[in-house]
Structure 1
């Protein structure tokens, strides 16, 4: 994979769409937050960028938009999310921004996206390029069907009625629930095999019948998998490594869809 900086500097006019996933931003991730701000500022200067897609787990352990929107102006001014929302709002004056739920931030609603003129989109989402290529976008967790316990949990927690009931609970209750979910997720990663938590090959084969390119995140295993004349592209999570933040992001340019390595060195 090539560096995204190279694409930015050599062919900025060719970039029309950018895809990111699994940022897991929070008050505990200052380096990741700053790296995302840096990317958005880079995207703002691209002359022909039409769309930015955030394909889930943008935010970590999100318990409801009211956790931010009901804050006083003073508290909002100190909140980690405020500069991010403001920078996205600036980008939205020239580029459409789309946000998809992940397994960590399924409680995001359109109200939060309205703060930066973004649009909340549902899984599954399809794009058709000018050359007729069909791209299927999703977060990726629904493809991990070998993890039956998680799929049962996912079906319950993301049921519209259950989600509505949870969001009606007091913030303090939701904060405790989010802490339990995050702790369980961390524990599961250490107890379950890597194979179980990865994509199921039969599910991929079934999914690929609906598109030319399947683009998703979730697994934190960035790669391009060629399946005959089709491709499965996996975005990477955002990681703080030594003195830099690194992520694998997607982009549509004059050559089609590709994955690029985005590096941001901590200042």
Structure 2
């Protein structure tokens, strides 16, 4: 797999879109936050970048936009999210769209938070034409249909009434609910076979019925998979801290990029547009 750093240093004018997933950002993982800020710096340096996709689980947990929006100006100035918002806002000013999809960890993320930097929430599945191929973008948890218990839980938590109920609870109550859900999830996952938490082949085939390729995150198994005889499944994500006990650690992730010939127009659907996976790394 090629390195993203090599792409942006050798072909910066060709990068039109960047796609990422499963960052699981939180104040408890400052290295991941710094890695995301470094990626945004890279994006800000790309002169032809037109779109940044964040395909779910941007945050480890999201208890509602009011957790940040209700803070005073002084509190926001010191908050770990503020530098992130500032860089995203500059990216949007530079002409790059920022499209955000819900994941299973941040399904309470709302448009009011995205408005802070000019971003837009998008629904899954999202259709994207790259070259002459139609890509289906989604977070990926809906494809894990062998996990019946999770799919039932997902259906309940994605319901508008459930979300309205949660968002109208006091923050302390939401924190307690989130912690309880996290503990139960860890216990349940520890007893599940690995295949149950991966995508189901039939679900993938069905998802590809009207598409040429499938692109998702969630499973933390980044790779290029041959889904059918003529269609591929691309898996993003797995942002993680490596060698954390050594003097210099490294954050590693697999991200996607759409490139065009630098002399072509800005259309993602032009015939020369290509999608590739890249390894993003940062020393911390």
What range is the shorter-chain TM-score in? Answer: over 0.9
1:253 and 2:259 matched: yes
2:87 matched residue in structure 1: 87
1:119 and 2:125 matched: no
Partners of 1:204 and 1:231 in 2: CA distance? 10
Deviates more, 1:110-119 or 1:175-184: 175-184
Deviates more, 1:159-168 or 1:106-115: 159-168
Alignment of 1:28-39 (within 5 A): 28-39=28-39
Partners of 2:229 and 2:214 in 1: CA distance? 13
Query: Is the Cα–Cα contact under 8 Å of residues 61 and 182 in structure 1 kept in the other structure?
Result: no
Partners of 2:213 and 2:82 in 1: CA distance? 34
1:212 and 2:212 matched: yes
2:270 matched residue in structure 1: none
| Residue 145 of structure 1: how far off its partner (Å) | 0.2
Deviates more, 1:144-153 or 1:81-90: 81-90
| Residue 189 of structure 1: how far off its partner (Å) | 2.4
| Residue 5 of structure 1: how far off its partner (Å) | 0.6
When the two chains are superposed, the root-mean-square deviation of aligned CA atoms in Å is 1.0
| Residue 228 of structure 1: how far off its partner (Å) | 2.0
SS in 2 for 1:176: helix
Partners of 2:123 and 2:188 in 1: CA distance? 26
Deviations 1:82-114 (CA, angstroms, capped at 9, x unpaired): 111111111111200000000000000000000
1:265 and 2:283 matched: yes
1:239 matched residue in structure 2: 240
| Residue 179 of structure 1: how far off its partner (Å) | 1.0
SS in 1 for 2:238: coil
| Residue 178 of structure 1: how far off its partner (Å) | 1.0
Partners of 1:184 and 1:159 in 2: CA distance? 20
Alignment of 1:111-190 (within 5 A): 111-129=112-130, 131-190=131-190
| Residue 187 of structure 1: how far off its partner (Å) | 2.0
What TM-score comes out, normalization by structure 1 length? 0.97
| Residue 182 of structure 1: how far off its partner (Å) | 1.7
1:76 and 2:76 matched: yes
Deviations 1:196-227 (CA, angstroms, capped at 9, x unpaired): 00000011111111211110000000010122
Partners of 1:15 and 1:147 in 2: CA distance? 37
SS in 2 for 1:188: helix
SS in 1 for 2:25: coil
SS in 1 for 2:197: coil
Partners of 1:35 and 1:126 in 2: CA distance? 28
SS in 2 for 1:238: strand
Partners of 2:156 and 2:178 in 1: CA distance? 15
Return 5+ residue gaps in structure 1 as ranges: none
Deviates more, 1:227-236 or 1:83-92: 227-236
1:26 matched residue in structure 2: 26
SS in 2 for 1:196: helix
| Residue 163 of structure 1: how far off its partner (Å) | 0.9
What TM-score comes out, normalization by structure 2 length? 0.91
| Residue 229 of structure 1: how far off its partner (Å) | 2.0
- How many positions carry a matched residue from both structures? 265
